[in-house]
């Protein structure tokens, strides 16, 4: 079976010359959920930005059989749904409904159809229909995250990428989000420091260090090995 994501030897350097990714190999199968863990600055976010062509480095990046290059970006961005860390930067339209419908309108859907589909997505995200006309400013952090995810899910992606989704969320909201995400059929890539959250949704984890993936295994094992869990002793 063709893997959903296939990355071989990915290198990326910032404008000022620092190496962000020093040769990353990664593979994701259909329906798999993987947690991306590692210290800050180890390249996790930089890596995921390559998956929908927001960054383009050297090496092979193939999404659902398509090479990440300019001519495929339209198709790839429909297949990869990305949820960024800061929901305020993602909910940029004046109302919730317009925001969720944003992607749908961009791919050419008519306004009425886009609005209808957006409402469905909002409902699936656990938001009441009355929320559709609200301004994003007035939502709580948990609600914003749900709306952001709804906006991405509305486009029916095959892969869901979430960058540190639990930032700004209180424990009940985190639990609720974990419950919802683990029900979703899409393959998931979750950048997170939160071991509990990772374990609730993902079976597999990869550990980044200095621009490379240095370990790949079940979540508890990775957490234990690198001392990423508060309960464990720090390993060397």
Partner 1 sequence: MHHVVLDRWSRGSTAVHRLDPRAKIVSLLLLLIALATAKHSVPLLAFELALLLAAGFCWARVPVVGALARAALVLPFAATFAGIAWLAGDPARGLSLAVKSYVSALAVLFVVSTTPLPTLLRGLEAMGAPRFLLEVAQFLYRYLFLISEEAQLMRAAAAARNASLEAWRGNRERFRAAGGALAVLFVRSYERAAMIHRAMLARSFEGRIPTLSINRFTTRDIVFVVLSSAIPWALRFVTAAS
Enumerate binding residues for partner 1 (CB under 8 A): 49, 52, 54, 74, 77-78, 80, 82, 84, 86, 88-90, 92-95, 97-98, 101-103, 105-107, 111-112, 114-115, 133-137, 151-152, 155
DSSP tag of 59 = E
The set of residues, in sequence order, having a beta carbon less than 8 Å from that of 175 and lying 6+ positions away, is none
**Going by DSSP bridges, is the β-strand pair 5-13/19-28 parallel, antiparallel, or unpaired?**
antiparallel
Min separation Cβ 25 and partner 1, Å: 24
- Judged by CB, which is closer to partner 1: 136, or 142? 136
Give min distance, CB of 120 to partner 1, in A: 15
CB of 143 to partner 1, least distance (A): 15
Quick one: 43 or 53, whose CB is closer to partner 1? 53
User: Cβ 222 to partner 1, closest distance in Å?
Assistant: 27
Identify which of 84, 119, 123 has the alpha carbon closest to the alpha carbon of residue 98: 119
Burial label for 81, CB within 10 Å (0-12, 13-18, 19+), is buried
Nearest-approach distance from CB 178 to partner 1, in angstroms: 23
Nearer to partner 1, 82 or 177 (CB): 82
User: Edge to edge, what strands does the sheet with 212-218 contain?
Assistant: 80-83, 159-163, 187-191, 33-37, 204-209, 212-218
Rounded to the nearest 10 degrees, the angle between the axes of helix 96-106 and helix 141-153 is 20
Q: Which is nearer to partner 1, 11 or 78 (CB)?
A: 78
The angle at the Cα of 220, spanning 152 to 167, to the nearest 5 degrees, equals: 40
CB of residue 229 vs partner 1: minimum separation in angstroms?
Answer: 30
Question: Of 14 and 92, which has the nearer Cβ to partner 1?
Answer: 92
For partner 1, which is the closer residue by CB, 114 or 195? 114
How many Cα atoms sit within 13 Å of 23 on the Cβ side?
1
Grouping H, G, I as helix, E, B as strand and the rest as coil, residue 29 is coil
Question: Is the distance from CB of 189 to CB of 197 less than 8 angstroms?
Answer: no
Residue in the structure block whose two tokens are 């992607």 = 103
């Amino acid at each position: 079976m063709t893997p959903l994501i296939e990355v071989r030897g990915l290198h990326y350097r910032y404008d000022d010359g620092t190496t962000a990714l020093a040769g990353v190999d990664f593979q994701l199968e259909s329906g798999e959920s993987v947690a991306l863990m590692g210290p800050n600055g180890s390249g996790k976010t930089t890596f995921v930005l390559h998956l929908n062509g927001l960054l383009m480095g050297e090496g092979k990046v193939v999404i659902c059989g398509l090479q990440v290059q300019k001519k495929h970006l339209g198709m790839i961005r429909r297949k990869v749904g990305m949820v960024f860390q800061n929901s305020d930067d993602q909910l940029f339209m004046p109302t919730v409904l317009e925001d969720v419908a944003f992607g749908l309108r961009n791919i050419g859907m008519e306004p009425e159809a886009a609005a209808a589909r957006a409402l469905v997505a909002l409902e699936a995200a656990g938001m009441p229909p009355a929320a559709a006309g609200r301004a994003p400013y007035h939502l709580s952090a948990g609600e914003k995250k749900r709306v952001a995810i709804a906006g991405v899910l509305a486009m029916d992606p095959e892969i869901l990428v979430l960058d540190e989704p639990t930032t700004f969320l209180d424990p009940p909201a985190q639990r609720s989000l974990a419950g919802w995400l683990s029900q979703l059929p899409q393959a998931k890539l979750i950048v997170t420091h939160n071991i509990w959250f990772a374990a609730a949704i993902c079976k597999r984890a990869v550990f980044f260090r200095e621009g490379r993936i240095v370990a790949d295994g079940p979540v508890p094992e990775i957490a234990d090995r690198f001392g990423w869990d508060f309960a464990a002793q720090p390993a060397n």
